Amino acid sequence: MAGNDAVSGRRSRGRPRSWDDKSAQNVIKSLDRAMEVFAYLGQSGGVTLTELAHDLDQAPATIYRILVTLERHDLVEFDAQDQDWHIGSNAFLIGSRFLRRTSLVDRARPIMRTLMERTGETANLGVERAGQVLFVSQVETHANIRAFFPPGTLSRFHASGIGKVLLAWMPEDRRRALIEGAPLERFTPHTIVRTDMLIRDLQAARERGYAIDAEERTLGMRCIAAPVFDVHGEVRAGLSVSGPTSRIDAAAIAGLGRAVTDAAAALTAALGGASIPPPP
């Protein structure tokens, strides 16, 4: 009522009192069943009615009614020649709207906070800009000694964990153009400045799933980075942890590598992306 709205100072946002109650009594069973069918079709390359009914353990008549309903909204399509069902065009349009509202930085923040808490090291997010790494977000560790890459910082690909990730998973022709387009600048005695050595290092990163910056940009600092993929399976960003060699020693690298690759996979999923296995 208007009087109640005035007293509360704001209008209802459309959440019922039972908003947090996700129990079975609040689930529309027929819709829930339809979503199971829809999700199954999204994972398959085309399925017959008989196969759907068998795999989902439902009566063919029930599955058929669901399919016809979804078809009315262009969420599924029927191939009359092969007699099977596929995901529909409107599913793509709805998914595209989701992708338009996703923000890389916004989606990454909670994952980066979790990564920082899990590892105790600073978490970083970077993307490619004009042939360099652009750091776009950071969650700092609470430790006294820490790495610091404020948003807006640019770094060379070959001397950065995130840069190596972006190089390692980009198409080979573009990778070679970036590597061979300019001399590899030396920042420390550990910086890789030979093209053949860098290519071998990138291959090693693909094989293990993460890249390592071993004091190659700053003495006393190490960085472990993993790739974040978009919906096409192409590398979109790099996620990393960085810290002093006193904490990130050789024994810590494998564990940090697992933590970073887990976080990168979580961000890939949050963006609707598709992870791909490392190439051979």
For residue 87, the domain's CATH number is 1.10.10.10
Tens of pLDDT along 171-187? 999 998 888 878 899 99
Please state, in angstroms and rounded to a whole number, the distance separating the CA atoms of residues 99 and 182: 35
| pLDDT band at residue 92 using 50, 70 and 90 as cut-offs | confident
| Domain co-membership, 106 together with 181 | yes
The answer to whether residue 275 sits within a structural domain is no
The answer to whether residue 199 sits within a structural domain is yes
* Whether residue 1 has pLDDT greater than 80: no
Q: Name the helix (H) or strand (E) containing 78.
A: strand 76-79
**Which tokens is 156 given?**
């060379």
| Domain co-membership, 91 together with 107 | no
Please state, in angstroms and rounded to a whole number, the distance separating the CA atoms of residues 131 and 157: 8
| Domain co-membership, 68 together with 177 | no
| Domain co-membership, 149 together with 244 | yes
The answer to whether residue 16 sits within a structural domain is yes
Range of the domain at 109: 102-270
| pLDDT band at residue 280 using 50, 70 and 90 as cut-offs | very low
Q: For residue 206, what pLDDT is reported?
A: 94
| Domain co-membership, 27 together with 88 | yes
Q: Which residues are CB-contacts of 154 (< 8 A; sequence separation ≥ 6)? A: 129, 132, 133, 134, 135
Rg (CA), the chain: 24
| Domain co-membership, 220 together with 167 | yes
Highest mean pLDDT out of 14-28, 37-51, 52-66: 52-66
| Domain co-membership, 106 together with 84 | no
Among 97, 129, 154, identify where a domain stops: 97
Contact 134, 119 (CB under 8 A): no
* Whether residue 45 has pLDDT greater than 90: no
Q: Count up the domains in the chain and report the number.
A: 2
| Domain co-membership, 93 together with 106 | no
Q: For residue 103, what pLDDT is reported?
A: 84
* Whether residue 160 has pLDDT greater than 60: yes
| Domain co-membership, 124 together with 177 | yes
Tens of pLDDT along 221-231? 999 999 999 88
The answer to whether residue 256 sits within a structural domain is yes
More confident residue, 244 or 145: 244
More confident residue, 165 or 90: 165
The answer to whether residue 33 sits within a structural domain is yes
**Which tokens is 103 given?**
């923000």
| Domain co-membership, 121 together with 53 | no
Among 59, 74, 97, identify where a domain stops: 97
| Domain co-membership, 91 together with 106 | no
Lowest mean pLDDT across 102-106, 151-155, 223-227, 276-280: 276-280
Q: For residue 17, what pLDDT is reported?
A: 61
| pLDDT band at residue 245 using 50, 70 and 90 as cut-offs | very high
Among 44, 77, 97, identify where a domain stops: 97
The answer to whether residue 227 sits within a structural domain is yes
Instruction: Tell me the average pLDDT across 27-32.
Output: 84
Please state, in angstroms and rounded to a whole number, the distance separating the CA atoms of residues 23 and 42: 26
The answer to whether residue 278 sits within a structural domain is no
Q: For residue 253, what pLDDT is reported?
A: 94
The CATH number of the domain where 247 resides is what? 3.30.450.40
| Domain co-membership, 169 together with 229 | yes
